[in-house]
Structure 1
Amino acid sequence: MTQASAASPNALTYPFDGVPAGGEVRAVAPGVGWIRMPLPFALDHINLWLLDDGEALTVVDTGFGLDPVRAHWETILARDTRPLSRIVVTHCHPDHLGLASWLAERDGAPITMTQGEFLAGHAIWNQMPGSGVADMLAQFRANGLDDARLEALQERGNGYRRGVPALPSSYHRLFDGSVLRIGDNDWRVIVGYGHAPEHASLYCETLGVLISGDMLLPRISTNVSVYAATPNDDPLGWFLDSLQRIKDLPDDTLVLPSHGHPFRGIRARIAQLEAHHRERCDALLGEIGTPRSAGELLSTLFPRELDTHQVMFAMGEAIAHLNYLVARDEARKVAGQDGIIRFARRSA
């Protein structure tokens, strides 16, 4: 999620001007409200969604565990005093899961999410102090990241608990194809892979609305990373395959993304993303006539200056693109005597 798509967004249409102010809920479809909350990163916001559930409200995603986010929620829920009927979490990343437990305790509402995201959130949150960071650093070191950046990542530590102060101990499980009846409308769960273990998007055919979460964003490419526990994974391949299921939805569907503005133009955006990732893979192939590591190739994919938070995502994404090439027999891994993993074109 650190790299803007290279393709032009001109094929997309954006039906709403501006963004909601803090504590504001802006209507984007019948019974669907748009909330924007702050994030403490270069990507400085997340979109959340408030759905009319008759005599109650359903929340989709909850925001990062910050006091200003709690304050905005208090403003919103004081204005509309209906109780929360459920809290739907698209995936376990802190900007989505962060305040789910707080909202659940506040209103007594159940948390609804997929099993993969519930378990992943607990696994990250409950890591022994330093263990997750140590595993990540070992992975990045083996993939050629320089010492200065490794040291900065070590000092940064594990920020997950900063964004997720508490976790739910129970949840209602979502499956691919699950249908949630919210108010007068049915919302179907579409599970996607690559960005998170079992990401849940929600589609309402009646309204022609897709709450896409992080699976489809209008102006930046969703982060897809390889993690230390599964170093040979192909998350980019899974992500691109998952997009094909979204591509089958009507092209005039209103897409409500977690970052950026609501938009229309599903097929155009997916075509842009497919071209974007192919361009990045081709750029890497042009650099690995001789074996090179992911760390050495960061500037090929990310030619701008990266902060420490962005380096973490950039390394995971660089490895993901290289693994994608290996999985399709376009490149091979080369284990060096120095312990560094490098990649080379198959023809090289």
Structure 2
Amino acid sequence: MSLHYPHAQPPAAGELIEVAPGVFWLRMPLPFQLDHINLWLLRDGASWVIIDTGFPADEVRAVWSQILARLDGPVSRLVVTHFHPDHLGLATWLIEQTGAPLAMTTGEFLTAHAVWHEVGGHGARFMVEQFRQHGLDAEQLERFAKRGSGYRKAVPALPEYYQRLKAADTLTVNAKKWQVLIGHGHAPEHMALYCAELDVLISGDMLLPRISTNISVFAATPEADALGWYLASLDEMSRDIPANTLVLPSHGLPFFGVQSRVEALHAHHAERLRALENSCEDAPKSAAELLETLFQRALDTHQTMFAMGEAIAHLNHLEQAGRLSRMTDADGVIRYTRCKARTVH
């Protein structure tokens, strides 16, 4: 079954499209190759709930100001799915504009603060050392070192207080219950929201229609099986969701076909894992040496950061599945080689 898109075009800047009763879609620009993010407004009686914030750019603030001025009631709550800048970047500003409290998971709130303050294994200096261990060359490492923390630039200020949401909690919005679903791999404790009464899933970055979300390993958790966590989260998230559920992703168009998309993502990562395994057949390879296997295109510095994290995630998964073995060479670089098939007696 292929995906079905009920809306052929996204909303224009400042426009709201009602995609389900009381659920409105708005789109904001991003200054990256992925040039947009979808945000959501939920009517809540005489007030409104905002889902995710957008990137902290003047043009985004200007569009938000227009939208807030048009709303026929106050904003009662700001809900953020995860800590990445396009989702959390304008949280402090929106709280100042609306007076609404912030709600998110503890894992995302605390990770945002750790990355922003570059503590606990999070931040540029830890990432540079992680990439050195995985074979990135000195020139690119120097670029990352000079670049420093992009997160602090992209999130100008962080809220100091929040309302905690956790797995299996429910948010009641407009007399309808939204169940909190937690996913791992893309972010530590990514939140999606599912409303059975409306047949709507706000999936955040966990489930996108055309691209696969980035799955990276943090320097703080160097041996994490982030890809395994992500695929297991997809299965758990989609297990009891009916086929007629409208999925509202953070990027791309709203779609029907949740099970088909989950199956396609499993197939995509299985193919990438096979390609990496085959590339490690004849000689040990580092994550940096395998970037061309995963990404058959030129990568800028920003893209290389995500690509390295994703390569490490796939290699960790293969190692923990017993398909690759890991060694550290005399130069201190981690490399992987394909495990020989075990003889069955």
**What TM-score range do you get, normalising by the shorter chain?**
over 0.9
Partner of 2:277: 285
1:144 is aligned to: 135
**Which protein has greater RCO, CA pairs closer than 8 Å, 6+ apart?**
1
State the aligned residue count.
338
Distance 1:233 1:13 in 2: 35
Question: Which residue number corresponds to residue 106 of structure 2?
Answer: 115
Specify which of 318, 322, 325 is matched with residue 325 of structure 1: 318
What amino acid maps onto 1:315 in structure 2?
M
Secondary structure of residue in 1 paired with 2:181 = strand
The CA deviation string for residues 290-346 of structure 1, in whole angstroms up to 9 with x for no partner, is: 210000000000010111111000000000000000111111111101100001111
Q: 1:261 and 2:253 equivalent? A: yes
Unaligned runs of 5+ in 1: 1-9
Deviation at 1:131, TM superposition (A): 7.8
> Which secondary structure state, in structure 2, belongs to the residue aligned with residue 344 of structure 1?
strand
User: Which amino acid in structure 1 is aligned with residue 304 of structure 2?
Assistant: V
Structure 1 segment 188-207 matched on structure 2, within 5 A: 188-207=179-198
Secondary structure in structure 1 of the residue aligned to 2:325: strand
Q: Any idea what SS the aligned residue of 1:313 has?
A: helix
Q: Aligned runs of 1:237-316 on 2, under 5 Å?
A: 237-248=228-239, 249-289=241-281, 290-316=283-309
Distance, in Å, in 2 between the alignment partners of 1:301 and 1:131 is 25
- Secondary structure of the equivalent of 1:347? coil
Aligned with 1:220: secondary structure?
A: coil
**Percentage identity across paired residues of the two chains:** 57
- The alpha-carbon distance between structure 1 residues 131 and 178, as it changes in their structure 2 partners (threshold 3 A), is closer
- Moved segments of 4+, more than 6 Å: none
Correspondence for 2:159: 168
| Stretches of structure 2 lacking an aligned partner (at least 5 in a row) | none
1:65–1:162: 8 Å Cα contact kept in structure 2? no
User: 2:172 is matched with which residue: 181, 197, 210?
Assistant: 181
Tell me how large the CA RMSD over aligned residues is.
1.4
Amino acid in the other structure paired with 1:331 = L
- SS at structure 2 position matched to 1:201: strand
TM-score by length of 1: 0.95
CA distance in 2, matches of 1:318, 1:92: 21
Match of 2:10 in 1: 19
2:127–2:219 Cα contact (<8 Å) kept = yes
Taking a change above 3 Å as real, the CA distance of residues 203 and 131 of structure 1, as seen in their structure-2 partners, is closer
CA distance in 2, matches of 1:313, 1:201: 22
